[in-house]
Structure 1
């Protein structure tokens, strides 16, 4: 039986990270077609985004705001701190995995299908954000969420940490996209 919308897991950040990987590959398609998915500097830029921005943000939210990071689906007090390690690695792996799979599809000439996949994932992301806006906008611990005793994320430190993390995530993604675009122009001019 499927959980109702108020109980469903909301993998918003996971989808965002996957979409970043796909988007980076689409931007770097000229480099990927010419030299493969691990060509410099494209792969190094994507890995830098995953390791230098995505992983530290995941560490922060799973360590400091664990109930919100889990979207109140799991009681973080019942999990060990060691559970943070695979989660952080998973978020970084989604960026690199999205990049790698998208790169393989680009090299096989399936770039058009990749646009549809990216669009479909973006649509799912938007539906999840709209359906889960209450969870995304509420700060509480796990038991507080169960009692419906949460407050707005912007009335506590979590809201401002969320804003700063979004600025870091999208700022890094914009920089990476610009650099990948420049690299693509260099490849086309050879």
Structure 2
């Protein structure tokens, strides 16, 4: 009869504890465990340790790579900040140069305008003096012509000039 088939009112044979079966099962388990310990346990532990070391090495390498990346990032940010500062300095220098050039241009234009004005005033003054001298000469000649005709007497040129200069001087005074 098959031990798995149950009869009415009976318990299955596999579930009945037989002391011999339990003993031999324990002996087989111990032998298999000892065999596995001697044959497979060492390589298994070695493989696990290698795996652990590999993972630990990968973690250490990842941490060193991360630290290096953070250092590179810090250097990059520092260089970027220096570049920004340099750019701002160049902009400020350009602005200062622009202001300086504008101020120089204004100063130069002002100087040139002053020089032109002064030269024009000198030329006007010279033209005025020349015109006054010509006017005096013309007035003296005219006065001599008029005086010689009015007086109808002959007066020499030196005396005439002295009289005319005296008349012109009194005219200029007031």
TM-score (norm 2): 0.22
> Which has the bigger relative contact order, CA under 8 A and spacing at least 6?
1
When the two structures are superposed, what TM-score results if normalisation uses the length of structure 1? Answer: 0.21
- Structure with the largest fraction of helix: 2
Structure with the greater alpha carbon radius of gyration: 2
